[in-house]
């Protein structure tokens, strides 16, 4: 038996703003929105998809929960995202920057095949080179 990766939990100051930002950034949808928890899932996931997809193959959602402390240091865990080869990677980075992401330096080497960004609350994530699988 294997466990299913069910969710990634993001500690944040403003759960509603963070959930809305990530939903827009990923083109996901918000399914729970309270002051104590917001949850986003991929847009393609609906009741029919859930019935037709084996339980262990459904990907994780992202849960946003409030914490009193602010982010102080580089995340020990971060998410990597990759555009498809049919997409313009630079345009996607520009779109994320336009939504409020910012470029950050976490000690990455010069000229890597990924770009390190941070969401509006400073959580780092990477945009990788384009991929087709």
Angle at 37 between CA 24 and CA 121, to 5 degrees: 55
Instruction: Among 45, 70, 95, identify where a domain stops.
Output: 70
Rama region for 43: left / alpha / beta (φ>0; ψ in -120 to 50; rest): alpha
Res. 91: pLDDT tops 70: yes
130 and 85 share one domain: yes
Could you write out the DSSP letters of every residue in 80-121? EE--BTTS-HHHHHHHHHHHT-EE--SSPPSS-SSEEEE-TT
CATH assignment of the domain containing 30? 3.30.720.120
- pLDDT-derived band at 88 (thresholds 50, 70, 90) equals very high
Range of the domain at 117: 74-133
Res. 1: pLDDT tops 90: no
61 and 84 share one domain: no
Model pTM greater than 0.85?
A: yes
């Amino acid at each position: 038996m294997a466990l299913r990766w069910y969710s990634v939990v993001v500690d944040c100051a403003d759960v509603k703003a963070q959930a809305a930002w990530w939903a827009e950034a990923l083109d996901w949808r918000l399914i729970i929105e309270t002051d104590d928890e917001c949850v986003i899932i991929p847009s393609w996931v609906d009741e029919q998809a859930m019935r037709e997809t084996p339980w262990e193959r459904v990907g994780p959602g992202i849960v946003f929960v409030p914490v009193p402390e602010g982010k102080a240091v580089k995340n020990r865990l971060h998410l990597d995202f990759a555009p498809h080869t049919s997409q313009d990677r630079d345009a996607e980075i520009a779109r994320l920057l336009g939504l409020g992401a910012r470029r950050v330096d976490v000690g990455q080497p010069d000229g890597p095949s990924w770009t390190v960004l941070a969401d509006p609350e400073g959580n780092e994530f990477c945009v990788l080179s384009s991929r087709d699988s």
